[in-house]
Chain A
Amino acid sequence: MTHGGGGRAMAQLISEIFAAAFDNPYLAQGNDMAVMPAATGRLVMSTDGYVISPLFFPGGDIGSLAVHGTINDVSMSGARALYLSASFIIEEGFPLADLKRIVQSMARASTEAGVPVVTGDTKVVERGKADGIFISTAGVGVLVDDLSISGDAIRPGDAVIISGSIGDHGVAILSKRENLDFETAIESDSAPLNGLVAAMVEAEPSIHCLRDPTRGGVAATLNELAHQSGVGFVLDEDALPIKPAVRGACELLGIDPLGIANEGKLLAFCPAEKAEALLRVMNAHPLGRDAAVIGQAVADDSRLVRLSTSFGSERVVEWLNGEQLPRIC
């Protein structure tokens, strides 16, 4: 792929790739914007940039990730995600075959999630001005019900529920990027959570908060929410769903599974008495089969996230920036 001279041909090629992959009436309007019917209820909007290495990984690629990530962010308000936009920054020389693969994956993800990409843009930049491809997506959703799901709404006593296994995405990315052959292949959990959320809020509108533990993992998310809601959390180590392969990889590399990214999981916080019912609804959904109550919110002025083990020890789950530097002296 080149830019500058022959740019027109390139633009042509790119638009063909997009046209072939995405097929919906809004894009078919052929404008620089999409015109859609007004939704009733409150509008929810979110945007995110996707920069990842490697671009293709077990369980997904940057394209599906850009769709899932933004749908999930919109969904964490309890809203129904309606539309997506997508913007691409493509480095000169990026293989067209890879672009095609990414765009197709993106289209497939969008179709499967039932949230169309209604408008988009592409830019090709000089070599060295980008690292292969960057994708930005924005999503619009609508909150029809009278929900007030928010990061500051968690109350002491609330149950903390995770929708499934922890750490799959982070370990999948790491093992692919570094080309480590773990005995069991570890796949990213990248998935759209809009369907699961719809089922959850329909069954239990009393949910206080939903959050997807992406970058920084469960540890960062809970620490952030502890401050936002003014509570502490106590997690039960034995209740954490972690796949044996992920656990093994983390142990070998000295990584805390709580500190690594997930792309198809959510944390839900609801009054303790609703937890069982909510869990049943989640377990009935394919993306919540392994959902589990992993702890509870507690009153704690110091806003600590604690992990307690079966033999009674407790450790503080910290929000570690970057690589975990050893502390044993």
Chain B
Amino acid sequence: MDEAAANGRRILVSGRVQGVGFRPFVYRIAHAHGLTGWVRNGAGRVIIEIAGAPEALAAFETVLIKEAPPLARPRIDLSEPASLGLFHGFEIRHSEGTEEPDIHLPPDLFCCAECVAELSDPSARRHRYPFTNCTQCGPRYTIIRALPYDRPATSMAGFPLCPDCAGEYSDPLDRRFHAQPLACPACGPRLSFVRAGAAEEHGEQALAAAVACLSAGGIVAVKGIGGYHLVCDARDEAAVARLRSRKHRPTKPFAVMIPQEGIDGLDAVRRFVSPDAAEAAAIADPARPIVLTAKRPGSGLAAGLAPGLAELGVFLPYSPLHHLLLGDFGAPIVATSGNISGEPVITDEDEAHRRLAQVADAFLDHDRPIVRPADDSVVRVIAGKARPIRIGRGVAPLEIELARPLAEPTLAVGGHMKGAIALGWGRRAVVSPHIGELDSPRSLAVFSQVAADLQALYAVEATRLVADVHPDYASTRWALSDGRPVTLVQHHVAHASAIAGENPDVARWLVFAWDGVGLGPDNELWGGEALLGAPGGFHRVGSIRQFRLVGGDKAGREPWRSAAGLMWEACHDWLPEAEGGAIARQAWEKRVRTLSTSSIGRLFDAAAALALGIERVSFEGEGPMRLEAMAEDTGGFVDLPIVEDGYGLLRLDWAPLLSPLTDPTLSPGGRAALFHESLARGLVRQALAVARHQAFDAVGLCGGVFQNRRLAERVAALFVAEGIAVHLPETVPANDGGLAFGQLIEAQARDARSL
């Protein structure tokens, strides 16, 4: 390159730069800095050739990264001096036909600051318009029917642009240039409010009626971005109780949406909960997830929002409709998924009116169709980082770059609970939003739709499937009846491979996959496993002492069964108070319908039953969550023996926990603290015992149990003290929501091994 002749620069930008308004952004900043040249998409990257004064070029490059659209994650791969021809201004060029552009399906974006500001600007054309959006913001995944992402291929197809909107759409300097869901009060979707026995209201009247209904303690089903929310006043104990009884959801926590106030938007949030810095950043993230944060005593929120728990899931409004609703209502609202327990969130008006009729007093609808559901994302800060509990709206479809290319396009179908799908091809993997428990017909229908849609939208036809080895998972049955070849992956191997896939630099792992239950190759129910190796070659080196459970899946809802299983296994002559306890004992002794397990999830359930007297729960994981919430800051611990079994497995023995868990001289909070501390120390000692004979580079902690912040942080701290590297899931959930990604990684590794 002849430096002297260089009058400009050639810049290659990769990362998340497509579908997030990046090229119009480049256009605008080029104009702002008086630069000429062009920008276009090419092979997954954005290519820029730009000419002008050197200072302006330098400023351009800084702004390119620093002021990028909220959801863009640009990375400059190359920036080199170039001698360029003369340009007339700056233009956005079409991608060249020879290069196949990578398809990117953007997630649903929040309502950006500029659009929020317009909502309250009486002079703006979209003042108080609930469906305003621009290239930086608005719905995407939930409105796209087909790619390329153009308006006619979205659920906005039925809303032809008015002349004003058409002008904005075609003006490269406008922040609505090529914003596909662009709309205004003249041409866009509108609100309607429906209440039995009353006339339907529209627009401002609809919004006012919804606010009035909320103020009167009513429950309103509100159609949002990825589906319906059930909404009520979060300060109104009676309204919350009503919602619980109508939704048949006695204790499972409700998320609370809090108005966006103040400079960082979190003033109101801080009045109701106490987020630390990482949690505050997560709440303010453009993905607008639900973030678990410490409750603030005396905040005025209803006690029934998250009974028995120390944390509350909170989030900020993310659509213009939510901003208006919360602004007008002026207080936090419960915003829980409008669904029937475990099913995907409802998206369709008719279905909502039919199936939520017994729950909602009224419906705040709009006429922009939702093509496929996306539930709210949920994160929890653990060990200083926001970690996904549920991947959904604003995050999904989640793109993950693979370290190596896949041998063939592969669709991994995940587990049975917290269903989610992962599609992989080349070096790309895409994880679907959370679908739900796959027990219901609607979950199955959405599961099939999402599997088909992901392949159609990315123009990738999977040539093989990956599923769990459990024969009764609906996902496994679906895969086996599909006709394409199926690779079966053991549950905990998939969990372990997920964390390995997030950290491809680690060569040899010791992964603790701790969860509820997954079927092991020995037909036992695994759930407290230590796996050594790497994807394609994990083998079990440790577990916990097995115990037997009566009643199969009932144990997940009835912690007394786990408690009984432990007590009886340890030869305690213990009679549960629960009805049927005596017959359960007979069945246990005679091994009728009992299954042997090494599940830590069930061990937690047992501890919740023994330490807190929780016999039955209304959702899976309630016992462990309450145990964590109840634990006092400090507690003693007991040493759990590690016993080598006949197969060389190092088994952690829980038996010494039983007497402190039932010790009447200890407080429930002290018992809970002791349980956590003993288990954390036991895990680390188990790892050290493995390390005596076998080498590994890092420890991984995965499975739903590691959503327990107290346990995860304590284990991580103990490993750090031992000088051992430790990883927690960061990209995909630790729970079964991350299983599909792990299945993909494991299948890929097996391919590589067989090459």
On A, residues with C-beta under 8 Å from B are: 174, 178-182, 248-249, 251-255, 302, 304, 306, 311-316, 318, 320-321, 323-329
Q: Knowing A180-B590, A254-B554, say if A325 contacts B440 (CB, 8 Å).
A: no
In the complex, what distance in Å separates the CA atom of A329 from the CA atom of B520? Answer: 13
Q: Knowing A252-B587, A254-B551, say if A325 contacts B595 (CB, 8 Å).
A: yes
Given contact pairs A306-B441, A314-B440, enumerate 18 new A-B contacts (beta carbons under 8 Å): A251-B551, A252-B580, A252-B584, A252-B587, A254-B553, A311-B340, A313-B342, A313-B343, A315-B441, A324-B472, A325-B525, A326-B553, A326-B556, A326-B595, A328-B517, A328-B620, A329-B417, A329-B736
Checking A323, A326, A329 against B555 with a beta-carbon cut-off of 8 angstroms, the contacting residue is: A326
Q: Knowing A306-B441, A328-B516, A329-B516, say if A252 contacts B601 (CB, 8 Å).
A: no
In the complex, what distance in Å separates the CA atom of A318 from the CA atom of B515? Answer: 25
| Cross-chain pairs A/B with CB under 8 angstroms, 27 sampled | A180-B586, A180-B590, A251-B551, A251-B554, A252-B551, A253-B551, A254-B555, A255-B552, A311-B340, A311-B358, A312-B340, A312-B355, A313-B340, A314-B340, A316-B444, A316-B474, A321-B471, A323-B552, A325-B470, A326-B517, A327-B417, A327-B472, A327-B473, A327-B553, A328-B517, A329-B415, A329-B704
**A252 — which chain B residues lie within 8 A by C-beta?**
550-551, 580, 583-584, 587
Closest 6 CB pairs of A and B: A328-B556, A254-B551, A254-B552, A329-B516, A254-B554, A252-B580
Interface residues of B in 293-308 (CB under 8 A from A): none
**A327 — which chain B residues lie within 8 A by C-beta?**
416-417, 470, 472-473, 517, 553
Q: Nearest Cβ distance between residue B576 and chain A, in whole angstroms?
A: 11
**Cβ-defined contact, A253 with B586, below 8 A:** no
Q: Nearest Cβ distance between residue A302 and chain B, in whole angstroms?
A: 7
**Cβ-defined contact, A329 with B517, below 8 A:** yes
**A253 — which chain B residues lie within 8 A by C-beta?**
550-551, 587, 592-593
Name A183's closest neighbour in chain B (CB-CB): B583
In the complex, what distance in Å separates the CA atom of A258 from the CA atom of B584? Answer: 21
In the complex, what distance in Å separates the CA atom of A323 from the CA atom of B248? Answer: 29
Q: Taking the complex as formed, is B310 at the interface, i.e. its CB lies under 8 A from any CB of chain A?
A: no
**A174 — which chain B residues lie within 8 A by C-beta?**
592
Name B495's closest neighbour in chain A (CB-CB): A329
In the complex, what distance in Å separates the CA atom of A182 from the CA atom of B586? Answer: 10
Q: Taking the complex as formed, is B518 at the interface, i.e. its CB lies under 8 A from any CB of chain A?
A: yes
Q: Nearest Cβ distance between residue A308 and chain B, in whole angstroms?
A: 9
**B415 — which chain A residues lie within 8 A by C-beta?**
329
Q: Nearest Cβ distance between residue A318 and chain B, in whole angstroms?
A: 7
**B556 — which chain A residues lie within 8 A by C-beta?**
326, 328
**Cβ-defined contact, A178 with B343, below 8 A:** no
**A178 — which chain B residues lie within 8 A by C-beta?**
586-587, 590, 592
Q: Nearest Cβ distance between residue A217 and chain B, in whole angstroms?
A: 16
**A313 — which chain B residues lie within 8 A by C-beta?**
248, 340-343, 440
In the complex, what distance in Å separates the CA atom of A302 from the CA atom of B343? Answer: 18
Q: Knowing A312-B340, A314-B442, A316-B439, say if A329 contacts B552 (CB, 8 Å).
A: no
Q: Annotate B573-607 by CB proximity to A: 1 below 8 A, 0 otherwise.
A: 00000001001101100101101000001000000
Q: Taking the complex as formed, is B491 at the interface, i.e. its CB lies under 8 A from any CB of chain A?
A: yes
Q: Annotate B472-514 by CB proximity to A: 1 below 8 A, 0 otherwise.
A: 1110010000000000000100000000000000000000000
**B418 — which chain A residues lie within 8 A by C-beta?**
329
Q: Annotate B711-755 by CB proximity to A: 1 below 8 A, 0 otherwise.
A: 000000000000000000000000110000000000000000000
Q: Nearest Cβ distance between residue A170 and chain B, in whole angstroms?
A: 12
User: How many cross-chain pairs have Cβ atoms below 8 Å apart between A and B?
Assistant: 124
Q: Taking the complex as formed, is B331 at the interface, i.e. its CB lies under 8 A from any CB of chain A?
A: no
In the complex, what distance in Å separates the CA atom of A328 from the CA atom of B555? Answer: 9
**B595 — which chain A residues lie within 8 A by C-beta?**
325-326
Checking B444, B472, B491 against A304 with a beta-carbon cut-off of 8 angstroms, the contacting residue is: B444
On B, residues with C-beta under 8 Å from A are: 248, 340-343, 355, 358, 415-418, 439-442, 444-445, 470-474, 477, 491, 515-519, 525, 527, 550-557, 580, 583-584, 586-587, 590, 592-593, 595, 601, 620, 704, 735-736
Checking A180, A249, A302, A329 against B735 with a beta-carbon cut-off of 8 angstroms, the contacting residue is: A329
Q: Nearest Cβ distance between residue A312 and chain B, in whole angstroms?
A: 5
**Cβ-defined contact, A325 with B552, below 8 A:** yes
Most buried by B among A179, A249, A302, A316: A316
In the complex, what distance in Å separates the CA atom of A318 from the CA atom of B476? Answer: 13
**Cβ-defined contact, B553 with A328, below 8 A:** yes
Q: Nearest Cβ distance between residue A63 and chain B, in whole angstroms?
A: 26
**B516 — which chain A residues lie within 8 A by C-beta?**
328-329
**A182 — which chain B residues lie within 8 A by C-beta?**
583
**Cβ-defined contact, B593 with A323, below 8 A:** yes
Q: Nearest Cβ distance between residue B510 and chain A, in whole angstroms?
A: 21
Name B448's closest neighbour in chain A (CB-CB): A302
Q: Nearest Cβ distance between residue A166 and chain B, in whole angstroms?
A: 18
**Cβ-defined contact, A254 with B593, below 8 A:** yes
**A325 — which chain B residues lie within 8 A by C-beta?**
470-472, 519, 525, 552, 595
Q: Nearest Cβ distance between residue B355 and chain A, in whole angstroms?
A: 5
Q: Nearest Cβ distance between residue B469 and chain A, in whole angstroms?
A: 11
**Cβ-defined contact, A324 with B552, below 8 A:** yes
In the complex, what distance in Å separates the CA atom of A179 from the CA atom of B418? Answer: 38
**Cβ-defined contact, B583 with A181, below 8 A:** yes
In the complex, what distance in Å separates the CA atom of A313 from the CA atom of B437? Answer: 12
**B553 — which chain A residues lie within 8 A by C-beta?**
254, 324, 326-328
